[in-house]
């Protein structure tokens, strides 16, 4: 019998084919196994919301019920367990956010983000928010310190549990590290960061100084918010280069603000007060706010708090409700400092050289060498011009700021959480020093009230707050602070309501200076317009008002623009755009074309108005640019000739050129059919996660595409957007409405959701709700949901 043998080459190819298939199979098996493991690991790091958990440090069992919207309701037998459980539960949902928040505020992002964060870290080390927190901690009562310790114990118990069960959040793995133990100073540092985010005005002082250095006096003063004829002027042109000195400064969002209002029972259907609040801050994933309900023998309070802090800062208990907006007072002062040419860290004061404090702040850098860094503090505060590379020059600028002093906001929060009436609430406010806030208040008993609360420096007439002051003269020191009893206060006004929207809150007869820069008044005007002449108001009316998209700025300026716009040279497309504006009802509706035309026109008008006069860095310091532009337009409409407008060819020509540019830009982006343009094609909201900038992670952390949304920066439904992209990343970070008749329940929207874990059902479940105004009801009685029992370990 003849044996047929395969050629050796074929046998070898077949063997390699089998080996290749085996390798591919093994690789696929490894890939599938890895994906299964990664998926299991990710799911393992989700917060446990049902069953039982042993928690180190508890003295008695604590019940945590998460309702249908993911809001945890914590019920404890004592305050120790309440705040320990609050720390534990917050960490379950938001530990990565908490860690990043304390790092950012402390100037320690470089430790996980690498050299890209060094300049930002230098700035926050220079400001010294953490140093201010350490000073503040020493002034707290023993009771408040104990609560902070209990809260920290809860956070640390969670971190220990996560490490022991191998369920640390995946974000920490991606960043290449794990969180350090939590301390009370971390909580207070995050609180100081919120004071930074909400305010001050040093940037505008620097901008005003730059104006007087760079432009003729008359032209410069046109951009001042106000300026008495006998007020001080700039020292000399050669003393400081503002643009270079602050080139790396971190500038808070210019539209940080809020709406709040309270309505007397005399104007409501229920016969009890209504209160509404919506703070305007950055929109991101996770939300800046974390909603909770805390219950113990001394507390029964529901609302929101910044992740990383105990208590409830905004919300209600079983007797009262409250909300805040940013007052925006002049609480920061730049001082020009003269250095001793023979001794670098000595500065002139009343004819003598004073030794400044030098603080070593080495910055550790991931995958890099530690950066040696020093902060210099004069009698006024830190030298903030040095971090931009100006060390060694003859002059510098220091910052005096109320938030860098010791302050006791958390103490105030804990007191107002327990308050049952206005007297107790106002007493608690004595300890809330920074940032200065407009508090509105409503009680079950029927009282409505308001107080502009905080530590506000006394200026003689306010002109001193417009420019940096000479730091070597004693006469330029702050003259104390407005006494608590003299802060603006209103109780049960005859008008029947109180509203604030970062607008001017005092009349000219008020004896103290508050601010030179108030928000444009349009949001307040619209709120007052809707509340003043209406009765039988309901909670639903309040929700609809929070979502109101009527643009009163457009109502004022569109008729002016159309009156002064030359018509003889308009193209067909420009005529169609004008026709849209003539028919517009002044609502920034998501499906409307007119809002897109208007906002683009005012944008190009503003850009042409200031032209190339300012760098991007200086424009970021132009706080209140909108108000200034509005005043220039009003003057031009009255026949006056503002220099900034005349240099662009006059009002009519500037309108014509800016409309032509606006229509051209919109055509390029949205097509030739003017009637088919939509505000929502440009104006879209996104809730970005801090790690979504890492390409492949965007889909995981950010989820769906940006959503078309109505409103704008000047409507009650606040939705501030980037001029280039149209993306909305700033607006009502939380919406809250409560009727004091049934104060055990309230309506809320926390965009984009409660949870910080992208696999949670509550991660992005309120994105669409934020756009549509779909509110969620949270109760403090009869709570239903997933129940977790925390047991002593």
Read off the pLDDT of residues 183-214 as tens digits, 9 standing for 90 and up: 999 999 999 999 999 876 899 999 999 999 99
pLDDT of 692 > 90? The answer is no
pLDDT at position 231: 41
Active site residue 398: no
Closest CA relative to residue 264, chosen from 532, 475, 29, 67: 532
Mean pLDDT, range 352-373, rounded to an integer: 97
Residue spans of beta strands (DSSP E) within 659-785: 684-685, 707-708, 719-721, 727-732, 735-739, 745-749, 776-779
Is residue 739 marked as binding?
no
396, β-bridge pairs = 337
φ, ψ for residue 340 (rounded to 5)?
Answer: -75, 120
pLDDT at position 258 over 50: yes
pLDDT 10s digits, 14-65: 666 565 555 555 555 544 444 444 566 688 899 999 999 999 999 999 999 9
pLDDT category of residue 618 using cuts at 50, 70 and 90: very high
The one catalytic residue among 136, 258, 264, 287: 258
Report the interhelical angle of 651-670 vs 572-583 (nearest 10°): 100
Q: So what's the pLDDT on residue 7?
A: 60
Cβ atoms 94, 756 nearer than 8 A: yes
Pick from 263, 375, 354, 346: which is nearest to 741 by CA?
A: 263
Closest CA to 72 of 244, 290, 376, 395: 290
Distances (CA, A) of 769 to 291, 649, 689, 714: 16, 46, 19, 21
Superfamily of domain covering 315-329+408-464+483-545: Aminohydrolase, N-terminal nucleophile (Ntn) domain (3.60.20.10)
**Beta pairing, strands 51-55 & 786-792:** parallel
pLDDT at 93: 97
**Is it the case that residue 252 has pLDDT exceeding 90?**
no
Considering only CA atoms, give the Rg of the chain.
29
Across 210-223, average pLDDT: 95
Q: 159 Cβ partners below 8 Å, 6+ apart? A: 91, 95, 178, 179, 181, 182
What distance in Å separates the CA atoms of residue 396 and residue 242, rounded to the nearest whole number? 10
Provide the pairing of β-strand 395-401 with 469-470: unpaired
Q: What is the CB neighbour count within 10 angstroms for residue 395?
A: 18
Contact 179, 144 (CB under 8 A): no
Gap between the Cα atoms of 275 and 266, Å rounded: 14
Q: In the Cβ-directed half-sphere of 25, how many Cα atoms lie within 13 Å?
A: 6
694 confidence band (pLDDT: 50, 70, 90): confident
Query: Average pLDDT over the chain, rounded to whole?
Result: 92
- As a whole number of angstroms, the distance between CA 685 and CA 751 comes to 11
From CA 499, how far away is CA 523, in angstroms rounded? Answer: 10
Q: Is the pLDDT of residue 149 over 70?
A: yes
Give the length of the chain.
793
- pLDDT tens-digit series, residues 443-488: 999 999 999 999 999 998 888 999 999 999 999 999 999 999 999 9
Q: Which range, of 175-189, 295-309, 633-647, averages the lowest pLDDT?
A: 175-189
pLDDT at 158: 98
Largest CA-CA distance found in the chain, in angstroms, rounded: 122
- Average pLDDT of the residues in 221-234: 62
Q: Under DSSP, is residue 481 helix (H, G, I), strand (E, B) or coil?
A: strand
Q: How confident is the model at residue 175 (pLDDT cuts 50, 70, 90)?
A: confident
Predicted confidence at residue 43, as pLDDT, reads 87
What's residue 428's pLDDT?
98
Dihedral sign (CA 74, 80, 81, 84): positive
Lowest-confidence pick of 240-244, 246-250, 516-520: 240-244
pLDDT value at residue 465: 93
The SS3 assignment for 242 reads: helix
Our CA dihedral for 640, 645, 647, 652, rounded to 10 degrees, sits at -90
Judge whether residue 658 has pLDDT over 80: yes
DSSP category for residue 364:
-
pTM exceeds cut of 0.85: yes
Helix axes 142-164, 409-418, angle to 10 degrees: 100
Indicate the helix (H) or strand (E) that contains 687. Answer: none
Residue 8 has pLDDT above 80, yes or no: no
Higher-confidence residue of 252 and 743: namely 743
pLDDT single digits (tens) 264-318? 999 999 999 999 999 999 999 999 999 999 999 999 999 999 999 999 999 999 9
**pLDDT confidence of residue 174:** 86
Structural domain spans, the chain: 315-329+408-464+483-545, 552-586+593-677
How far is the CA of 265 from the CAs of 205, 442, 524, in angstroms?
43, 10, 21
Q: What would the mean pLDDT of 761-782 be, rounded to a whole number? A: 97
In this predicted structure, which of 66-75, 159-168, 695-704, 745-754 has the lowest mean pLDDT?
695-704
Sign of CA dihedral 606, 612, 616, 619: negative
452: helix, strand or coil: strand
Residues 763-785, mean pLDDT to the nearest whole number: 97
């Amino acid at each position: 019998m003849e044996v047929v043998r395969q050629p050796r080459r074929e046998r070898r190819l077949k063997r390699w084919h089998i080996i290749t298939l085996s390798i591919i199979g093994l690789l696929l098996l490894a890939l599938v196994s890895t994906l299964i493991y990664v998926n299991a690991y990710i799911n393992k790091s989700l917060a446990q919301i049902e069953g039982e958990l042993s928690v180190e440090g508890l003295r008695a069992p604590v019940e945590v019920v998460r309702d249908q919207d993911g809001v945890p309701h914590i019920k404890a037998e004592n305050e120790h367990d309440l705040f320990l459980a609050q720390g534990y539960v917050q960490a379950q949902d938001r530990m990565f956010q908490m860690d990043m928040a304390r790092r950012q505020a402390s100037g320690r992002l470089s430790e996980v983000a690498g050299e890209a964060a060094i300049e930002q870290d230098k700035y926050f080390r220079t400001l010294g928010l953490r140093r201010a927190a350490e000073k503040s901690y020493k002034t707290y009562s023993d009771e408040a310190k104990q609560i902070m310790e209990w809260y920290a114990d809860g956070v640390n118990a969670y971190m220990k549990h996560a490490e022991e069960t191998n369920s640390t959040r995946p974000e920490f793995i991606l960043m290449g590290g794990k969180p350090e133990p939590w301390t009370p100073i971390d909580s207070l540092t995050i609180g100081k960061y919120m004071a930074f985010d909400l305010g001050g005005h040093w940037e505008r002082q620097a901008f005003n100084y730059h104006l007087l250095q760079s432009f003729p006096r008359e032209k410069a003063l046109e951009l001042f918010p106000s300026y008495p004829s006998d007020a001080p002027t700039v020292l000399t042109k050669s003393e400081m280069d503002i643009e270079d000195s602050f080139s790396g400064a971190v500038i808070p969002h210019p539209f940080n603000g809020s709406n709040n209002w309270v309505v007397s029972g005399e104007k409501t259907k229920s016969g009890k007060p209504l209160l509404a609040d919506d703070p305007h801050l950055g929109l991101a994933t996770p939300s800046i706010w974390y909603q909770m309900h805390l219950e113990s023998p001394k507390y029964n309070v529901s609302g929101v708090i910044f992740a990383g802090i105990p208590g409830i800062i905004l919300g209600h208990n079983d007797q009262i409700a409250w909300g805040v907006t940013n007052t925006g007072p002049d609480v920061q002062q730049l001082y020009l400092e003269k250095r001793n040419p023979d001794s670098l860290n000595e500065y002139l004061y009343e004819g003598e050289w004073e030794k400044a404090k030098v603080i070593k702040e080495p910055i550790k850098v991931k995958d890099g060498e530690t950066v040696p860094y020093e902060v210099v503090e004069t009698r006024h505060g830190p030298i903030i011009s040095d971090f931009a590379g100006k060390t060694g020059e003859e002059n510098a600028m220091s910052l005096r700021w109320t938030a860098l002093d010791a302050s006791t906001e958390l103490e105030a929060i804990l007191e107002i959480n327990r308050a049952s009436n206005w007297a107790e609430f106002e007493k608690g406010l004595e300890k809330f020093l920074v940032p200065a806030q407009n508090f509105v208040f409503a009680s079950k008993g029927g009282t409505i009230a308001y107080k502009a609360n905080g530590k506000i420096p006394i200026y003689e007439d306010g002109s001193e707050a417009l420019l940096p002051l000479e730091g070597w003269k004693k006469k330029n020191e702050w003259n104390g602070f407005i006494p608590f009893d003299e802060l603006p206060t209103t109780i049960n006004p005859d008008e029947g309501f109180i509203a604030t929207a970062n607008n001017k809150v005092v009349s000219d007869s008020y004896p103290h200076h508050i601010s030179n820069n108030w928000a444009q008044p349009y949001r307040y005007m619209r709120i007052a317009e809707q509340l003043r002449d209406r009765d039988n108001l309901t909670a639903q009316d309040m929700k609809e008002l929070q979502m109101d998209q009527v643009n009163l700025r457009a109502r004022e300026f569109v008729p002016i623009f159309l009156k002064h716009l030359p018509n003889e040279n308009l193209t067909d497309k420009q005529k169609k755009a004008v026709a849209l504006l003539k028919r517009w009802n002044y609502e920034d509706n998501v499906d409307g074309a007119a809002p897109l035309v208007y906002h683009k026109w005012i944008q190009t008008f503003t850009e042409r108005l200031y032209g190339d006069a300012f760098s991007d860095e200086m424009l970021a310091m132009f706080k209140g640019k909108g108000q200034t532009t509005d005043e220039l337009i009003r003057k031009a409409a009255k026949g006056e000739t503002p220099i900034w407008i005349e240099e662009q060819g006059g009002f009519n020509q500037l309108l014509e050129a800016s409309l032509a540019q606006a229509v051209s830009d919109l055509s390029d982006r949205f097509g030739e059919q003017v009637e088919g343009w939509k505000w929502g094609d440009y104006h879209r909201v996104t809730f970005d996660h801090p790690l979504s900038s890492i390409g492949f992670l965007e889909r995981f952390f950010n989820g769906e595409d940006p959503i078309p949304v109505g409103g704008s920066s000047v409507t009650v439904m606040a939705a501030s957007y980037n001029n280039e992209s149209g993306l909305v990343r700033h607006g009502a970070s939380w919406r809250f409405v409560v009727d004091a008749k049934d104060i055990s329940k309230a309506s809320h929207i926390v965009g984009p959701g409660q949870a910080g874990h992208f696999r949670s059902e509550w991660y992005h479940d309120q994105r669409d709700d934020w756009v549509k105004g779909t509110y969620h009801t949270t109760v403090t009685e009869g709570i239903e949901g997933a129940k977790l029992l925390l047991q002593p370990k």
